[in-house]
Chains A and B, each alone.
Chain A
Amino acid sequence: MTDWRFLQRKSFIELSGRERAQALFDAGTARELLGPHDRIESPWLERQGVTPQADDGCVICKGLIGGEAAVVVAIDGAFQGGSIGEVSGAKMCAALDLAVRDNQRGNKMSAVLLIETGGVRLQEANLGLAAIAEIQASILALRRYAPVIAVTAGTVGCFGGMSLAAGLASYMVMTREARLGMNGPEVIEQEAGVDEFDASDRALIWAIHGGEQRYRMGLVDALVDDDTAQVVSAVRTLIAKGLPAMHRSQQVEMLRERTRRLDPSTQWEPAEFCATWTRGEKA
Chain B
Amino acid sequence: MSDYTGVRGRRWFEALTGSAAPMSGDPASALVADAELGGEMARFAAVVPDPQGLFPRARQGEVGLEQAYALAARVREMIAMDRDRIRRPLIAIVDVKSQAYGRREEMAAIYMAGAAAVDAYATARMEGHPVIALIVGHAFSGAFLAHGYQANRILAFDDPGVVIHAMHKEAAARITRRSLLELDRLGKQIAPLSYDIRDYATLGLLHALLHVENPETPQPGEVQMVRAQLIAAVKDTRVGPRDLSCRLTSAQAQTARRATLLVRRKLEEQWAEV
* B225 close to chain A: CB less than 8 A: no
> Majority SS of interface residues in chain B?
helix
What chain B residues lie within 8 Å of A131 (beta carbons)?
260
Binds A, one of B1-9, B186-194, B210-218, B229-237: B186-194
A141 and B259: CB pair below 8 A? no
Stretch at the interface among B34-42, B43-51, B83-91, B141-149: B141-149
A125 touches B192 (CB 8 A): yes
Q: Kindly state the interface size class of chain A when it binds its partner.
A: 35 or more
- Contact (A183, B106) CB under 8 Å given A31-B274, A137-B244: yes
A168 touches B73 (CB 8 A): no
Asked whether A259 and B65 contact (CB < 8 A) given A33-B274, A164-B142, A183-B106, the answer is: yes
CB distance from A39 to the nearest CB of B (A): 11
A116-165 CB contacts (< 8 Å) to partner B: 119-120, 122-134, 136-137, 140-141, 160-161, 163-165
Number of A-B contacts (CB under 8 A): 239
Task: Report the bound CA distance from A217 to B109 in whole Å.
Answer: 9
Min Cβ gap B182→A in Å is 11
* CB < 8 Å neighbour of A262 from B108, B165, B166, B259: B108
Residues B99-155 near A (CB distance < 8 A): 99, 101-116, 118-120, 122-123, 126, 141-142, 144-146, 149-150
- Chain B residues with CB under 8 Å of chain A are 54-57, 65-66, 69, 72-73, 76, 99, 101-116, 118-120, 122-123, 126, 141-142, 144-146, 149-150, 164-167, 171-172, 174-176, 186, 189-194, 200, 203, 205, 243-244, 247, 256-257, 259-260, 262-264, 266-268, 270-271, 274
**Which residues does A use to contact B, with CB under 8 Å?**
31, 33-34, 38, 40, 42-44, 47-48, 60, 62, 86-87, 89-91, 94-95, 97-98, 119-120, 122-134, 136-137, 140-141, 160-161, 163-168, 180-183, 187-188, 190-192, 196-197, 208-209, 214, 217, 219, 247-253, 255-256, 258-259, 262, 264-265, 267-268, 270, 273, 277
